[in-house]
Amino acid sequence: MENRLWVLDLASDTLEGRPAVAIWLKAEDGSTWLLKKRYTPSFYLVGDLEKAAKIVEAEGIRAERCTKKIRGSPVEALKLYVDLEDLDEYASKLLKRLEGVEAYEEDLRLTAKFLLETGLKPCSWASVEHSGFEEESGIRVITGGEIKALEHAPPPRLRVMAIDFVVFAEKGSPNPGRDPIRLISLCFDDGSEFQLEGEEREILKSLVSVVGEKDPDVIVGFGTNSTYWSYLSERAKKLGVKPVLGRLGAEPRTSIHGHVSIRGRLNIDLEDMAREIPELTVETLEEFVGYLGIEAKLDTVEEYELAERWRSDRDAVKRYSMQRAKAILKSFEAVRDFVFNLSELTSMPADFVLAASAGFRVENYLMTLAVKVGELIPKRAEITHVSYPGGLVKAPKRGLHESVAVLDFRSMYPSLMIKYNISFDTLSENGENVAPNGYRFKAEPEGFLPHALKTLLKERRKIQEKLKQVPEDSVEARVLDARQRAVKIIANAIYGYTGWVGARWYTREVAEATTAWGREVISSTIKKAEDLGMTVIYSDTDSVFLKNYEGRLEKLVEWIEKDLGLEAKLEKVFKRIIFTEAKKRYAGITTDGKLEIVGLEAVRGDWSAVAREAQRETVKTLLETGDPGKALAKAREYVRKLKRGEVELKKLIIWRQITRPLSEYSATQPHITVAKTLIKEGWKIQPGDKVGYIITKGSGPLYARVKPYFQASADEVDWSYYIEKQVVPACGRVLGAVGIKPDKISETGESTLMEFFG
DNA sequence: TTTAGGCATTCAGAATGAGTCTT
DNA sequence: AAGACTCATTCTGAATGCCT
C-alpha cells in the first residue's frame, strides 16, 4: 500500500531495543498516522583508517570506505553504522584506542541525522509504502515501511487548538507549589470554545478529556514553553492527575533547551516568535497581534491586577482569557505558512524551529546542503571570538535637508560572497580574489556558501515566478509568499553566521573579507556619486543618502551594475529629512507623506512614552511645516503638560530589559533596583524580562527613587525629571539640528508644581 | 542554544580641581 | 603653609537598544 502523507513531527524511538524513528503524519482526509521505523545512525572516521577498520570489523560494525570533503578538500573516510542511539559515547571510546583519527557527525541527534540522510523534510509531503497498519486509539500505526519525500505542496487541513491559562498569586508571580490554575480557555479552529474553571483537579481532567476528544494536531499558546507547560505539569503532579495531552497517552516533556514536546502534536508557542521580532519592544500578545495587523479585541487585564480583578470582576478576567485564546488562534493562522516553510527549508520540526535562534536555523539549512555535496559536518569548536571591522558609517551632514534620495544595495553581503566566491572552502593563500584586507579566495570551484546563497536565490526567484501565476489572496499565494520570506531570512543570516563563534562553520576570515569588500564598495560608491555631482549627506553600510540626484542617479545605478557587478535600488525619496550630528539617527517624510523616524528616542523602547510622543510630534511638525518655531511650540506644549502634572502615569513608564542574572551586574541601575524590589515582593524576574518603572521625587541617585510602575502614584512623580531628562533632551536633539538651544524648550512661562509646593 | 559590528545615550561612580576651612 | 574637607565638574565604564 502507498499513502501520501504530510510529516507533522518526529521523535526518536526504539524497536526491539534498537534505535528507531517515530514519524507522525497527517493525511489529506484528516487521519493521523504513525510510522515506526528502524534506523541505524552512522558517523565518519577520517585520518589513519587502517587500524580503525580492523577494530570495527572485529566488533562486527558495518563500515564502508567513502570519499568525503572537509572544507572542500577531498578526504578518505570510513562510514560506520552503529546501532546505538548515542553515537557520541561509542565514538569517544573508539577514538581512545586510535591515533591520528578524527570523528565526524557522531554528535548529531538521531532524528536530525535521519532527516539529513534521507532528505525527508518536516512539514512536507511524503509517500509512505507499507504492508498495512494497525489502528490504535484512532491512530494508524505502521511498523516498518518506506518513506520518500515528495514535491512541495500546501499542507493538509490541521486541527488547531489555542490555549490560554489564568494563574496568579495574591502578591507577586504565581508559584506552582502554591497557586492553583484558576482557568483555562480553549478555542478551536472549528469554532468551538471551552472555558474550564472551578475545582483545579476538574479543570485539568477536563483539559485532558477535551484534548483527547478534539484531538488537535497543533496546540498553540503564548508563553507555554517558558511558563505554562511546566506549571501545568507541576500542578498535575501535586493533584495526582496525569496531564495526558500527547497522543497515545503521552505527557508534555521538556526536550532540549526550553522547548516542550507534546507527542504527536505540534506544540507551538508564539512567544518564541514574538521574541525575535525586533519591532516589538514589549513582547506581549497585544503587541504581537498589533504587529501582525490582526483584528482582535483584547480588554487587557494586567498581571499585577489579576488577583484583585478575579475577586471583584471575574467576568472581565474570563472574557480577557477567551479573547487571548482567540487572538492566539488568529495569530497562528497568520503565521502558520511561514512557520511550516521555515521548518521545511531548515529541516527542523515546526515546533522546534520557532524555539531555535537564527544561527541554528542557518546551520541546519547548511547541514542539509552539506550532506548533498558530501561535505562533512564539523563540530563546534571552543574558541574565543576576536571582533573585526564591520560596515562603514559616514557622519551625516547636520540639519534639515530637502529632497533626498536613498539608494540601497540589494543584499550586499550575499552578493559579495557570491561575486568573490567567499567561503570557508575557497579561502586559500593563492586565491585570485583578494579582499581589501588581504584575505584571498579561489575563484573556482564554486564555494559552499556561495552555492548555498545561489540555491536560495534561485529558489526565491522560482517562488516569485510562481507567485505571478497564482491568484492574489489565494492560499497558494499566501504559502508562496511565506516561503520566499523564509528563504530570504536564511540567506541574509549567512554572513552573520560565519562570524558567530558558536557556528560549526565559523570562519572569521570569511566574515571579515565580506565586510572589507563591503566597505570598499560603499566608499567607491560615495566617491562616484560625488564625481557625478551629487552630495552624499549620509551613508550606512549599504545605503547612500543623495542630494542633487535628479538626472544623475540613473548613471550611478548603471555604474554600480556595470563596474561593481552589483545591484542597487532607489529605495525612497525624502521630501524633507533632518539629521542631528549623530550617526544612525534621523527622521524624514517621504514623497508619499510617510513619517519615518530612525534611531531617535521616539523609536526607542527605553524612553518614556511622553518623551517619545513629544519628539515624534515635534519632528513631525518640523518636517511638515519646515518651521522651527512651530516645532518648538509643539515641544513646549509637552513641557507645559508635565509642569501641570497633566500626563497619564502610563506615559511615564520607562521600560528596560533584564539581560542577565541580577547577581552579575556590577553597576547600580534603576531597573535593577526595581527588579530587586519586585523579587522581594514575590515576583519572579528572569533574564529577558522587562521591568517598568517611574521616577519619583526625592534626593540621591535615580536608582534610589524609582518605583515599579504599578506602585507609583501621581503625587509622588518627579515631574521635573520627565521634563529635564526626558522631553527636553528628546526634543532638544531634533530642535538642536535647526539651531534651537534646549533651554528654550523649558521656557514656557510657567513654573513647575515643584516650585509652587516646594 | 546569542547571526555580525557600529553607534548614541544615560547613569553611576571615580577622578580631578577649585575653593575654603582647620591646625 | 600644609593638609583636610566640600562641592562642582570631568572623565570612564557599564549597560541598553537601536541601525544596516
Q: Tell me how far CA of residue A664 lies from CA of A659, A660, A687, in angstroms.
A: 10, 7, 11
Please tell me whether residue A503 adopts helix, strand or coil conformation: coil
User: How does pLDDT run across A49-104, given as a tens digit for each residue?
Assistant: 999 999 999 999 999 999 999 999 999 999 999 999 889 999 999 999 988 999 99
Tally DSSP H helices, then E strands, for chain A: 22, 30
Give nearest nucleotide to A390 (CA–C1'): B5
- A742 CA → C4 C1’, Å: 39
Q: What's the confidence (pLDDT) of residue A753?
A: 45
All cell numbers assigned to A704 = 534610589
Residue A755 has pLDDT above 80, yes or no: no
pTM over 0.85: yes
Q: What's the confidence (pLDDT) of residue A746?
A: 83
Q: Is the CB of A667 under 7 A from strand B?
A: yes
Q: What's the confidence (pLDDT) of residue A277?
A: 85
All cell numbers assigned to A720 = 521635573
- A534 CA → B18 C1’, Å: 52
Average pLDDT over every residue of A151-174? 94
Q: Is the dihedral of CA A108, A116, A126, A160 positive or negative?
A: positive
* CATH 3.30.342.10 in chain A, residue ranges: 2-149
Percent over 70 (pLDDT), chain A: 98
- The confidence band for A426, taking pLDDT boundaries of 50, 70 and 90, is very high
- A387 CA → B4 C1’, Å: 9
The residues, ordered by sequence, that sit 6+ positions from A135 with a Cβ below 8 Å of its Cβ are: A141
Q: What's the confidence (pLDDT) of residue A525?
A: 98
- A18 CA → C2 C1’, Å: 88
Nearest to A221 by CA among A303, A342, A326: A326
- The confidence band for A758, taking pLDDT boundaries of 50, 70 and 90, is very low
Give nearest nucleotide to A598 (CA–C1'): C19
Q: Is the CB of A580 under 7 A from strand B?
A: yes
At residue A108's C-alpha, the angle toward residues A107 and A111, to 5°, is 150
Q: Tell me the C-alpha distance between A568 and A20, whole Å.
A: 51
User: How does pLDDT run across A611-627, given as a tens digit for each residue?
Assistant: 999 999 999 999 999 99
Q: Tell me the C-alpha distance between A37 and A22, whole Å.
A: 7
- Considering only CA atoms, which residue is closest to the C1' of nucleotide B13? A667
* CATH 1.10.132.60 in chain A, residue ranges: 605-756
User: How does pLDDT run across A522-536, given as a tens digit for each residue?
Assistant: 999 999 999 999 999
Q: Which nucleotides of C are covered by protein (CB under 7 A)?
A: 13-20
- Considering only CA atoms, which residue is closest to the C1' of nucleotide C13? A667
Q: Which fold has domain A380-590?
A: Palm domain of DNA polymerase (3.90.1600)
Contact, A435 vs A429, CB < 8 A? no
Q: What's the confidence (pLDDT) of residue A257?
A: 63
All cell numbers assigned to A542 = 549599504
Residue A432 has pLDDT above 80, yes or no: yes
Q: Where are the alpha helices (DSSP H) in A435-563?
A: 448-469, 475-498, 508-531, 553-559
Q: Which nucleotides of B are covered by protein (CB under 7 A)?
A: 1-13
Specify the length of chain A in residues.
758
Q: What's the confidence (pLDDT) of residue A86?
A: 85
- A701 CA → B16 C1’, Å: 21
User: How does pLDDT run across A218-276, given as a tens digit for each residue?
Assistant: 999 999 999 999 999 999 999 999 999 999 999 999 877 678 999 999 999 999 999 88
Please tell me whether residue A281 adopts helix, strand or coil conformation: coil
- The confidence band for A588, taking pLDDT boundaries of 50, 70 and 90, is very high
* CATH 3.30.420.10 in chain A, residue ranges: 160-358
Q: What's the confidence (pLDDT) of residue A749?
A: 67
Give domain A605-756's CATH number out of 1.20.58.760, 2.70.70.10, 3.90.1170.50, 1.10.132.60. 1.10.132.60
Q: Tell me the C-alpha distance between A211 and A169, whole Å.
A: 27
Count of other CB atoms within 10 angstroms of residue A697: 13
Segment holding A355, helix H or strand E: helix A350-355
Average pLDDT over every residue of A212-218? 97
Q: What's the confidence (pLDDT) of residue A341?
A: 92
Residue A445: is the preceding peptide bond cis (ω within 30°)?
Answer: yes
Segment holding A576, helix H or strand E: strand A568-579
Residue A569 has pLDDT above 90, yes or no: yes
- A496 CA → C14 C1’, Å: 26
- A751 CA → C7 C1’, Å: 27
Return the CA Rg of chain A. 30
Nearest to A10 by CA among A336, A252, A261: A261
Residue A374 has pLDDT above 90, yes or no: yes
Q: Tell me how far CA of residue A108 lies from CA of A120, A293, A376, A380, A703, in angstroms.
A: 16, 39, 12, 11, 48
Q: Sheet of A62-70: strands edge to edge?
A: A62-70, A73-81, A42-47, A101-104
Q: Is the dihedral of CA A588, A591, A592, A593 positive or negative?
A: positive
Q: Is the CB of A703 under 7 A from strand B?
A: yes
CATH 3.30.420.10 is right for the domain spanning A160-358: yes
Contact, A20 vs A10, CB < 8 A? no
Count of other CB atoms within 10 angstroms of residue A224: 26
- The confidence band for A750, taking pLDDT boundaries of 50, 70 and 90, is low
Domain A2-149, CATH? 3.30.342.10
- A524 CA → B7 C1’, Å: 22
Give nearest nucleotide to A603 (CA–C1'): C18
Q: Where do we find the cell 504587529? A: A291
Beta bridge partners of A9: A24
Residues whose C-beta lies under 7 Å from strand C: A 278, 281, 391, 408, 540-543, 584-585, 598-599, 603-606, 655-660, 664-667, 669, 671-672, 690
Average pLDDT over every residue of A696-714? 92
